[in-house]
A = this chain, B = another copy of it.
Amino acid sequence: MAISINPTAAARVSFDTDPTRYRHWRLTIDGPVATLGMDVQEDAPLVPDYRLKLNSYDLGVDIELADAVQRLRFEHPEVHAVVITSLKERIFCAGANIFMLRGSSHAWKVNFCKYTNETRLAIEDASANSGLKFLAALNGICAGGGYELALACDEIVLVDDSNSAVSLPETPLLGVLPGTGGLTRVVDKRRVRRDLADVFGTLAEGVKGRRAVEWGLVDAVAPASRFAEAVRERAIRLAAQSDRPASGPGIALTPLSVKEHGDAVEYSTVSYVVDRARRVATLVVRAPESAVEATPEAILAAGDRFWPLRAFRELDDAILRLRMHEPEIGTVVLKAEGDPALVCEADAVLLAHREHWLVREVIHFIKRTLKRLDLTARSLFALVEPGNAFAGTLFELALAADRAYMLDDPDRPNTIQLTGMNGGALPMGNGLSRLAARFYGRPDHVNGVLAHTSAFDAAEATAAGLITVAPDEIDWEDEVRQAIEARAALSPDALTGLEANLRFVGPETLETKIFGRLSAWQNWIFQRPNAVGPKGALTCYGSSERAEFDWTRT
């Protein structure tokens, strides 16, 4: 079996698409209800080693889904509900493509699952925070990742035709787990009883009809003759729950402007450069160059040129590229440059108009991008140097970092600053602001630093605990260099585990349980010979070989 898909082979994956270029989805809009029809083209996989049969998906299919959800939020505020369905007969979705998974490197599997998890959480975020409701209209068999996509929707309707079932067959058929939140959502979100979930999770053929409703796996079933009508009724009812504007226009998300030259990637406000010898990338986000638009009308007119949206769209793309294109870059050095006063002004605009639908979308998008950073399995070091723009929203980058170094040189002014945007507008997946996570269990201290509305110099920032260490001008260069070199020498696996544990202090949510408990177990299983060895279940699937297990329980 060829191990053909790996981050290097697929290194030129692009996250940039739009509906005119979709190969796997059709987006149609009818008043307040949009329909996302899944119609995966078998012969258009991301790499040509497998065929996407039965509406199975690979990363390319999911990039289009993520794009569609994002565009509905920004481009179509008049859409209040989305029906996710299949344009194929008798099959909704067969889940992630097994042959793709089987041919993938471990790192690719893990990053693929992480991205698809983020897409499903973005659907839930749109529902919870943006009034955009989702209905899964399962017009045929719905297996594995297909059902996990349905679980991310607000409601699920299944056609009742004696054939169509929902299932999570990963354990019985492949010896792995449903990798996109399925187990967590079944019990935590849909509150299926744990023993029924146990039966369901070991039943390759799944559950259909009445029983699927009784167990809580779907909200309703409808016979084929009434299916379209039932879906329509539910979609309209869901749309009525929305608090989105009655009409548009939205703003267009135009293609990102990005230039690559050698190991440097340059957007309009974000850039990064890769040092392969040291396995370090340096990523810079630049403050706006002039005051941002300050009224909803002006922001609407600016559209995706509005700096907060532009900067974080670029940052989001840069994070995804670093994850997928640069698997051996272990440390990302984060910098913010420019005039911090302009960042503070932009934050004031965001906060003043946070009730406006577009500003709300921008804030939630910034939040999601920062969550992607939290979940990026690379060491993050923030460097705070003179000329920095680590203020407010951009200071969240330093708060997301594993460490922050700040130069303390009396001859060169160097400050950081907090704004109201650090006070809870951009929560982590665990529901805490990054300041509350940093000062876990010390709410008075959080309030104290937030009350400090002027800039912090290095001594003040150190005293307040906002940075890790503030070397002086004599030590700065050596200390930073040594820290980066020392980091690069450590086991990348141990660092991934260390960071995943230290970053998420405090409460766990459905979201962090998916990335913590569930994904960590799945990643373990993805390493085990019982799944991926020569006789493993994933290896043998679809062949004449039968899996052979080492029966030792751990």
Contacts and interface: CB of A to CB of B under 8 A. Distances in A.
Interface of A: 7, 105-107, 110-111, 170-172, 174-177, 183-184, 186-188, 191, 193-199, 201-202, 279, 327-330, 377-378, 401-404, 437-442, 465, 467-468, 486-487, 490-508, 513, 516-518, 520-525, 527-528, 530-531, 537, 547, 549-554
A494 B177 contact: yes
Nearest to A398: B195
Contact of A107 (B171, B401, B525, B554): B554
Q: How many copies does the complex hold?
A: 2
A487 B202 contact: yes
A319 to B, nearest CB: 13
18 contacts: A107-B552, A183-B501, A183-B502, A184-B501, A195-B403, A201-B502, A279-B551, A327-B552, A328-B552, A491-B525, A491-B531, A491-B537, A494-B530, A501-B521, A507-B508, A508-B508, A508-B513, A524-B524
A272 to B, nearest CB: 15
Contacts of A196: 468
A15 to B, nearest CB: 18
Those 4 A-B pairs whose CB atoms lie nearest each other, nearest first? A175-B491, A520-B520, A508-B508, A516-B517
Contact of A403 (B199, B531, B547): B199
A195 B199 CA distance: 43
A116 to B, nearest CB: 15
Given A517-B516, A553-B330, A553-B377, A490 B441 contact: no
A12 to B, nearest CB: 18
A317 to B, nearest CB: 19
Contacts of A187: 440, 501-502, 505
A7 B497 contact: no
A524 B531 contact: no
A521 B519 CA distance: 9
Contact of A502 (B194, B279, B499, B531): B194
> Which of A194, A377, A437, A506 has the most B CB atoms < 10 Å from its CB?
A194
Contact of A553 (B329, B498, B550): B329
Contact of A198 (B202, B439, B502): B502
Nearest to A516: B517
